[in-house]
Amino acid sequence: MSATQFVLDGEEARPIVELLQFAMEATHIPSSIFYWIDDGMRMQIAACEAVDLDRLNIYQSTFYAHDPCSPVRMISRQARTQTLQRACAESQALDLYRPYMALSGIKDALEMVFWHEDRAVAGLGLVARDDHDCVSPEAWKLAQSMQRYVEASLALHPRVMRDRARRRLAREFLLSKRELEIADLVGKGLTNHEIGEELAISLPTVKTHLQSLFAKLDVGNRTSLVAEMRKAEMAR
């Protein structure tokens, strides 16, 4: 499991924090976590409210696989909305998840997975503690109503747009995963040496991948490569 990541500042984080605040106020559920879903269906935490970070790390390292509402389980069913109480009635993993529920004082949770095109890109978990009621039918209906609106909003988020651009470039120009990684790092302004250190590859290997990128995208330098990436990012 990847390390917990928090992105709580900057323009990219602002709409996420606003979403958390709105969801908690609308559903009357006091704790929330927003996370991105990477290509390996792992959670990358972006923002959270009223969450114990140590217990969140325990969840990711030990109990994620046993969570009846985990993104992996929801994605396998192509589900968008689920509550922990509903999922528990359908899952045999509950006995393995009970220790974490007891440790964290969790009574119920409302989980939403957001999709873009044909893949899950993000999720939102609202956690009801022992001193709060279970997820109400009204909160459940509200979550279902929010789903399409949030997905439409996330489609314009810079991270989702970059991911869409990467997939488009990979299809159109037959780019490898490594070439996409290097193109991303070039876009972030890293030098060849820094890219080599980041990816643990040699400088000649970085240069070889760059030459391949230049040839496939028919560009002559790093500036033109970044311009092509930006063009793909803005295309709908």
The domain segmentation of the chain, as residue ranges, is 14-156, 160-234
Given a cut of 80, whether residue 6 has pLDDT beyond it is no
Q: What is the mean pLDDT of the chain?
A: 84
More confident call, 10 vs 13: 13
Q: Return d(Cα 210, Cα 216) in angstroms, integer.
A: 10
Q: Is 86 helix (H, G, I), strand (E, B) or coil?
A: helix
Q: What integer pLDDT is reported at residue 119 of this predicted model?
A: 87
User: Which is it for strands 119-129 and 106-116: parallel, antiparallel or unpaired?
Assistant: antiparallel
What share of the chain in percent tops pLDDT 70? 90
Domain 160-234 class? mainly alpha
Given a cut of 60, whether residue 164 has pLDDT beyond it is yes
Q: What integer pLDDT is reported at residue 40 of this predicted model?
A: 77
pLDDT digits (tens, 9 = 90+) for 203-227: 999 999 999 999 999 998 999 988 8
Q: Which of these, 34, 85, 79, 25, lies nearest to 56 by C-alpha position?
A: 34
- Which letter, b or e, does each residue of 136-175 get, where b requires 16 or more Cβ atoms within 10 Å of its Cβ? beebbebbeebbeebbeebbebebbbbbbbbbebeeebeb
Average pLDDT over residues 69-94: 80
Distances (CA, A) of 126 to 137, 173, 184, 232, 236: 14, 40, 32, 34, 31
Q: Which CATH number fits domain 14-156: 3.40.50.10440, 3.40.50.620, 3.30.450.40, 3.40.50.11030?
A: 3.30.450.40
Given a cut of 50, whether residue 186 has pLDDT beyond it is yes
Q: Is 227 helix (H, G, I), strand (E, B) or coil?
A: helix
pLDDT digits (tens, 9 = 90+) for 166-183: 888 888 889 888 998 898
